[in-house]
Structure 1
């Protein structure tokens, strides 16, 4: 083989190896939830509403609860009692739904706390295989984060958490979980949410993103120029960027991984393959990436929001801007 041909062959083999390693992410970059998608379940189209403001939040919440009630009736008529029950719970008068779409796997944006008067807001972005049928677990994480914010907040500081299931998450076993495609489509929606929150809360409110698993890819793709102060990545397989500088944001970037999180073993590679990028590149907790690495304790991939955990305490402190109180590894 000629020298030039040998070099080209080695490069080609290297690309194949990187792509093959990235493909291993299929079974790894997921939240350990088992959601069955409902692509054919009938539900009404989302309510058509004006952009929310502090003064119209109650009307927005009420309209989305009414839509959830309609979705519950349609699901029950279709014979899907599980989805009907989930939708019915969304329609409870206590729920504050900033958005709701009962079609397919489902989308919902829920507010915990008094958003209109909050001084500190944390937006929780979920990872793979999250939909209405697994929303209970995601909501439990949001509730735990909100309780911790209330506990950690200085006297007089008002807090809220926004649980944002605002994008179609990748499936547990699918090629979509290995690429940034879903995140690229989700990023404009996350940016639109931040714009809405800024309109509702005003410029003096601190906004932080808390991004779990594949949700960290979504946050990274939305980060450029985003009006948030902090972005925390937990259990992240990577962001699609080689370094923090590649995110093009003025926000502080934080990263953490529990010592028992299997994401540590995901290959941190990235390769262009068939017109898309497979894999997510540099490990966010590595020195090469350049994030502020904080202590997440010894938990696993699903344990970052466990009550009393070091990861939850640190996430609350980041969201509150109490950065000197964040503990590091």
Structure 2
């Protein structure tokens, strides 16, 4: 048996073990009764003049959802929502039902020259939205602050986009593109609405973990300047050419990221493709490498990190300043 054949069988064996773990692992809180929440607020379309109206309506909707969570005895959800409803926070959309969806804006979306949209991976819900830079809300704040330090004269906005139902890590959903396909449709619609709102802005996508699959499925023909993928398990493509994008695509993986041990393979099981194929950080894939230092899977937006500084450069369009992997 050749070395290549043994390697292929090993990757498929590891992938099969992952499938077993996903099928047989403990079922997370999603299987428990849902915490009640109001329907999303009725919102106007997205011209610049309506941004404040949307922000105010969503703040009220979040506060109402927090009251309902309190009444239902869900302290974790209530605490999370009270934080999101704080004065000065701006949510472009919010849906407190189920695991929830939320899109937060930092900066002025209508006048920004550069807009970075952050697309999170598995286990991202309203309960895990806020917190340190390992979570989508904290990551967006970290990137926004870094951009302002590196380019204080540039008008920027950063969007924490929880606009899809992210899969659970222990689930079969995290091994297939189903949730990513749904997320890609939502992401394409969101980017189109941003383009209508601010046609002069240069938009970039910052995509983490399973979010890299979402971005790859959304990329074809999308009006974005740059796409950065990091901590990726694969993007459901064998090469960048399959993405159908003219954007500059960047890929990075930290030295301590456990995702490196996930096999870059895919197999068909009962008509469903499991796994996400080629490693986007490999030389043959075709993406531009960016340095990430010793980042772990949740550390890419950590303050003062190599990866954060490079992601800020990518968001700013400073390709010449990005250090290589």
Q: Partner of 1:257 in structure 2?
A: 253
Alpha carbons of 1:20 and 1:47: their partners in 2 closer, same or farther (altered >3 Å)? farther
Structure 1 position 97 matched with structure 2 position 94: no
Structure 1 position 79 matched with structure 2 position 73: yes
Alpha carbons of 1:200 and 1:288: their partners in 2 closer, same or farther (altered >3 Å)? same
8 A contact 2:129–2:136 mirrored in 1? yes
Q: Partner of 2:235 in structure 1?
A: 239
Counting matched residue pairs gives 312
Alpha carbons of 1:282 and 1:229: their partners in 2 closer, same or farther (altered >3 Å)? same
Q: Structure 2: how far apart are the matches of 1:117 and 1:27? A: 49
Q: CA deviation at 1:272?
A: 2.3
Q: Partner of 1:143 in structure 2?
A: 141
- The residue correspondences of 1:280-291 to structure 2 (distance < 5 A) are 280-291=276-287
Alpha carbons of 1:327 and 1:24: their partners in 2 closer, same or farther (altered >3 Å)? farther
Secondary structure of the corresponding residue to residue 133 of structure 1: coil
8 A contact 2:164–2:186 mirrored in 1? yes
1:17-60 per-position Cα deviation (integer Å, ceiling 9, x unaligned): 7654334456999xxxx984365110011122232111110001
Structure 1 position 292 matched with structure 2 position 288: yes
Q: Partner of 1:4 in structure 2?
A: none
**TM-score, normalized by length of structure 1?**
0.89
Superposition RMSD on alpha carbons, in Å? 2.3
8 A contact 2:207–2:229 mirrored in 1? yes
Could you tell which deviates more after superposition, 236-245 or 81-90?
81-90
Secondary structure of the corresponding residue to residue 149 of structure 1: helix
Q: Structure 2: how far apart are the matches of 1:252 and 1:140? A: 25
Q: CA deviation at 1:156?
A: 3.0
**TM-score, normalized by length of structure 2?**
0.91
1:258-311 per-position Cα deviation (integer Å, ceiling 9, x unaligned): 111111111000122223221000001001211001110012111100111110
8 A contact 2:213–2:236 mirrored in 1? yes
Q: Partner of 1:178 in structure 2?
A: 175
Structure 1 position 107 matched with structure 2 position 104: no
8 A contact 1:217–1:240 mirrored in 2? yes
Secondary structure of the corresponding residue to residue 68 of structure 1: helix
- The residue correspondences of 1:1-329 to structure 2 (distance < 5 A) are 20-25=13-18, 36-37=29-30, 40-136=34-130, 137-153=135-151, 156-202=153-199, 204-329=200-325
8 A contact 1:35–1:131 mirrored in 2? no
Q: Structure 2: how far apart are the matches of 1:28 and 1:227? A: 38
Could you tell which deviates more after superposition, 179-188 or 41-50?
41-50
Alpha carbons of 1:35 and 1:147: their partners in 2 closer, same or farther (altered >3 Å)? farther
8 A contact 1:23–1:178 mirrored in 2? no
Structure 2: runs of 5 or more not aligned? none
Structure 1: runs of 5 or more not aligned? 1-10
